[in-house]
C-alpha cells in the first residue's frame, strides 16, 4: 500500500491543484489493454464494452488510476482527476500487443462514447489511413488526444530492431494536434538510452511511478512514456472541468504554455489551471529536489530491471508484466 505521497504527485503539486476541482463531469477515454471495472479505486466510474472492462495485462488499469483513482483512507496515492469518469477501449490484442487499426477503433469508440480527453498508450512505428482518420475524427469532435512520443520499449514494435535503427516519429503522437509526451525521472531527466523523438510537447513523471492494479488494493511501480501521458491526460481533465469554455486545442495550448521550461517542457498542473506560467506564480517548481525515492518493499537492486509483463488473467496475487511494447514494472510498493 502507498502510505506516503508518491514522488510524482508530490512533484506535480497535488496539494495545490486539488483546490481547483477534481475533474467533475469529464470523461477520459483510455485506449489500452482494457480497464478493470473491479479496481477498487475506480469502482462505479468505468464504462466500456464487456471486453474492455477486463484487463488481464494490467496496464490500462494502471493508466486509468493515474488519471482518476479515488482517494482512500490510509492511502496517499490518488489520481489527478479523481472525480472524472473512465471510458475504456481496447487498443491491443488479448496479449497486450498494440496495432494501428485496434488503436484507431479504440479512439473512435471513446469519441462516440462522449470522452472529452483520450489517452492512448501505444507508440507505433507506422500509422495507417484508419489511425490518421480516427485522430482527425477526435479533433473534429473537440476531443483532446494525448499519447507517448516514444514507445515504452524499442522491442516488439513492428519495424523496430534496436534503438539505433528506430524511427524518430511514433504514432499517433506524431500526428498534428496530438499532445506528444515523454517520460522523466524524479530529477527531471530522461532515462538512459531513451529514444529521442522528432517532436515532444511535454514531459511528465514516467519512471518508478506508483499506481493501481486490476485487482486488490496493492500498489505497483511502472515506467514509460505511456505512464507520463496518463499524467498529462489527468491534467487535461482538470483543465477541461475548471475551464469548460476552452476547446480541446485551447486546453492543449494551456498545458504547453504553462509548462516548466526545459529541453522538453515539463508539465505544471497548477500553471495550466491558473493560466499563469510557472515563473509568475508562487510555489515550488518541478526542479525541487526535496523528495527522493525509497525502494519498494522487497525491492532488490540486483533485480531492478523491468519484469516481464504476463498476458494472462490474474488469479490471486496480481502480476503486472511486460508485453512487447510495454515496460511496466510491477512491484508491491509500500511507502513509495
Residue 305, pLDDT score: 32
pLDDT at 95 (0 to 100) = 87
Crossing angle (nearest 10°) for helices 225-242 and 59-68: 30
Q: What is the pLDDT of residues 9-18, one digit of tens each?
A: 889 988 888 8
Tens-place pLDDT, residues 151-188:
996 433 443 334 444 558 999 999 999 999 999 999 99
With vertex at residue 233, the alpha carbon angle to CA 179 and CA 104, rounded to the nearest 5 degrees, is 65
pLDDT of residue 277: 67
- Rounded CA gap, 17 and 271, in Å? 9
Contact 81, 68 (CB under 8 A): yes
At residue 166, the pLDDT reads 52
pLDDT at 320 over 60: no
pLDDT at 137: 98
pLDDT at 8 over 80: yes
Task: Name the residue among 69, 148, 131 with its Cα closest to residue 325.
Answer: 148
What is the pLDDT, as a whole number, of residue 125?
Answer: 92
- Cα separation values, 167 from 47, 187, 203, Å: 35, 27, 20
What's the pLDDT band for 278 if we cut at 50, 70, 90?
Answer: low
Structural contact between residues 202 and 261, judged by C-beta atoms closer than 8 angstroms: no
pLDDT in tens, 141-159: 999 999 999 999 643 344 3
- Angstrom distance (rounded) from CA 271 to CA 115: 24
Q: What is the reported pLDDT for 87?
A: 98
Which residues in 120-130 are b (16+ Cβ under 10 Å) and which e? bbbbbbebeeb
pLDDT score at 102: 97
Q: For position 289, what pLDDT does the model report? A: 28
Amino acid at each position: 500500500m502507498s502510505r506516503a505521497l508518491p514522488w510524482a504527485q508530490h512533484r506535480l503539486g497535488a496539494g495545490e491543484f486539488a483546490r481547483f476541482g477534481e475533474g467533475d463531469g469529464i470523461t477520459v477515454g483510455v485506449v489500452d489493454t482494457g480497464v478493470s471495472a473491479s479496481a477498487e479505486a475506480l469502482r462505479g466510474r468505468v464504462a466500456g464494452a464487456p471486453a474492455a472492462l477486463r484487463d488481464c495485462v494490467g496496464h490500462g488499469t494502471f493508466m486509468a488510476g493515474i488519471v482518476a483513482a479515488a482517494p482512500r483512507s490510509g492511502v496517499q496515492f490518488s489520481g489527478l482527476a479523481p472525480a472524472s469518469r473512465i471510458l475504456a477501449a481496447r487498443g491491443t490484442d488479448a496479449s497486450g500487443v498494440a496495432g494501428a487499426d485496434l488503436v484507431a477503433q479504440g479512439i473512435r469508440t471513446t469519441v462516440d462514447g462522449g470522452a472529452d480527453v483520450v489517452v492512448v498508450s501505444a507508440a507505433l512505428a507506422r500509422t495507417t489511413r484508419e489511425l490518421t482518420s480516427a485522430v482527425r475524427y477526435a479533433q473534429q469532435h473537440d476531443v483532446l488526444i494525448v499519447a507517448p512520443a516514444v514507445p515504452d520499449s524499442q522491442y516488439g514494435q513492428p519495424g523496430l530492431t534496436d534503438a539505433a535503427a528506430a524511427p524518430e516519429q511514433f504514432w499517433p503522437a506524431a500526428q498534428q494536434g496530438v499532445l506528444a509526451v515523454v517520460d522523466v525521472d524524479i530529477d527531471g531527466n530522461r532515462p538512459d538510452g531513451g529514444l529521442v523523438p522528432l517532436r515532444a510537447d511535454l514531459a511528465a513523471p514516467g519512471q518508478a511511478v506508483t499506481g493501481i492494479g486490476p485487482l486488490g488494493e496493492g500498489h505497483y511501480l511502472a515506467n514509460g512514456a505511456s505512464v507520463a501521458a496518463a499524467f498529462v491526460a489527468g491534467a487535461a481533465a482538470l483543465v477541461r472541468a475548471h475551464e469548460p469554455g476552452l476547446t480541446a486545442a485551447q486546453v492543449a495550448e494551456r498545458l504547453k504554455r504553462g509548462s516548466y521550461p526545459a529541453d522538453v517542457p515539463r508539465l505544471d498542473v497548477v500553471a495550466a489551471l491558473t493560466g499563469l506560467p510557472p515563473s509568475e506564480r508562487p510555489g515550488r517548481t518541478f526542479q525541487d529536489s526535496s523528495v527522493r525515492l525509497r525502494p519498494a518493499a522487497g525491492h532488490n537492486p540486483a533485480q531492478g530491471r523491468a519484469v516481464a509483463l504476463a498476458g494472462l488473467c490474474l488469479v490471486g496475487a496480481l502480476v503486472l508484466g511486460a508485453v512487447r511494447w510495454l515496460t511496466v514494472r510491477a512491484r508491491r510498493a509500500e511507502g513509495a
